[in-house]
């Protein structure tokens, strides 16, 4: 297999049949979503369930952020999406300010804040790469899997350093692709569009390069066969948009996509995400001016493992 080859062949098929136009994460993904988390965030959309290990992961991360910034009073949250973790950490700080680059995500955060009666968290539409805040405006910053989604992660980190007070703390979490065993990972989703169209959302990740390529194809099927197949896959993808390891590719979805004709593809857009490797992140943070840089596993994983062990041993109800 070539270095950039994919098991499904979809990436290669797109290269041969489409001419994707350049886009970004904001316009191509996050501003299209009514809820970035699919209305499934614990304590924001759903009540806490002690029998769900993922809810323990969520709680572990909330306490991770709170304790990492325990001396802060005014906290900045970069990229809260639906208001996470802003709305859950707000009770522990005097003020939390969340920023999103698009108005739809900002309004989603504000709506959740109103519904949850959280009054000390506010949300602004603003680029993390060019903030409107004055220098030294915050004594704590949290960024949950958001820095790599910005158009320029290094510029975003530089802006965070500028708005942080001397002695302030940044607590960021990010996906470390270099630690994932599989060399290539693919996920795909088919969603109904407008006027009989379908949206094919496809992501391919290369672990060695720590890169992801995101594609959005707008498709109008011209045959009854393709229409029925896309309609079927849209129904199957409805409740599970982005599984971690996508079994649908093995059940025929890849063949459905690769059977489309060029005339059926109305539009193709794409953007690339450059993830930090561990050493490059340390180098970047140090060059910007951050000190006392520490890598930790994060509070979510041990909390989730604790829950799984108690579930297996039937001690969870206690």
Q: How much is the average pLDDT of 161-185?
A: 91
Residue 135: pLDDT band (50, 70, 90) is very high
Within 10 Å of residue 209's Cβ, how many Cβ atoms?
Answer: 15
Residue 291: pLDDT band (50, 70, 90) is very high
Q: Model confidence over 271-288: pLDDT tens digits? A: 999 899 989 999 999 999
Give the residue from 124, 113, 102, 112 showing the smallest Cα distance to 39: 112
Bridge partner residues of 188 (DSSP): 202
The per-residue b/e assignment along 273-294, b for 16 or more CB within 10 angstroms, e otherwise, is bebbbeeebeebbeeeebeeee
Task: Give the pLDDT of residue 245.
Answer: 60
Tokens of 116: 């949850």
In this predicted structure, the answer to whether residue 158 has a pLDDT above a threshold of 60 is: yes
Cα end-to-end distance, the chain, whole Å: 51
Work out the percent of the chain whose per-residue pLDDT is above 90. 73
Q: How much is the average pLDDT of 87-108?
A: 97
Task: Give the pLDDT of residue 249.
Answer: 73
Q: Model confidence over 254-265: pLDDT tens digits? A: 899 999 999 999
């Amino acid at each position: 297999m070539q270095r950039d080859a994919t098991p499904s062949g979809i990436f290669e098929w797109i290269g041969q049949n489409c001419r994707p136009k350049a886009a970004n994460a904001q316009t191509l993904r996050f501003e299209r979503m009514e809820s970035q988390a699919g209305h499934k965030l614990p304590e924001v959309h759903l009540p806490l369930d002690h029998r769900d290990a993922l809810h323990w992961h969520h709680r572990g991360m909330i306490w991770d952020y709170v304790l990492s910034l325990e001396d802060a009073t005014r906290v900045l949250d970069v990229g809260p999406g639906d208001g996470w973790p802003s709305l859950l950490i707000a009770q522990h700080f005097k003020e939390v300010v969340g920023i999103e680059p698009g108005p739809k995500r900002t309004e989603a955060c504000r709506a959740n804040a109103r519904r949850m009666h959280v009054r000390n968290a506010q949300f602004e539409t603003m680029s993390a790469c060019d903030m409107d805040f004055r220098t030294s405006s915050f004594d704590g910053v949290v960024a949950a899997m958001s820095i790599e989604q910005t158009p320029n992660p290094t510029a975003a980190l530089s802006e965070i350093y500028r708005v942080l007070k001397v002695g302030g703390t940044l607590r960021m979490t990010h996906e470390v692709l270099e630690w994932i065993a599989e060399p290539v990972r693919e996920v795909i989703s088919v969603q109904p569009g407008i006027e009989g169209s379908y949206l094919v959302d496809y992501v391919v990740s290369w672990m060695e390069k720590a890169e992801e390529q995101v594609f959005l194809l707008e498709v109008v099927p011209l045959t009854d066969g393709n229409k029925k197949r896309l309609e079927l896959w849209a129904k199957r993808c409805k409740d599970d948009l982005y599984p971690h390891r996508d079994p649908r590719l093995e059940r025929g979805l890849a063949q459905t996509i690769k059977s489309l004709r060029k005339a059926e593809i109305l539009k193709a857009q794409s953007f690339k995400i450059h993830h930090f490797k561990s050493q490059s992140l340390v180098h970047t943070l140090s060059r910007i001016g951050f000190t006392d840089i520490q890598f930790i596993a994060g509070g979510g994983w041990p909390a989730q493992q604790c829950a799984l062990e108690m579930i297996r041993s039937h001690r969870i109800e206690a």
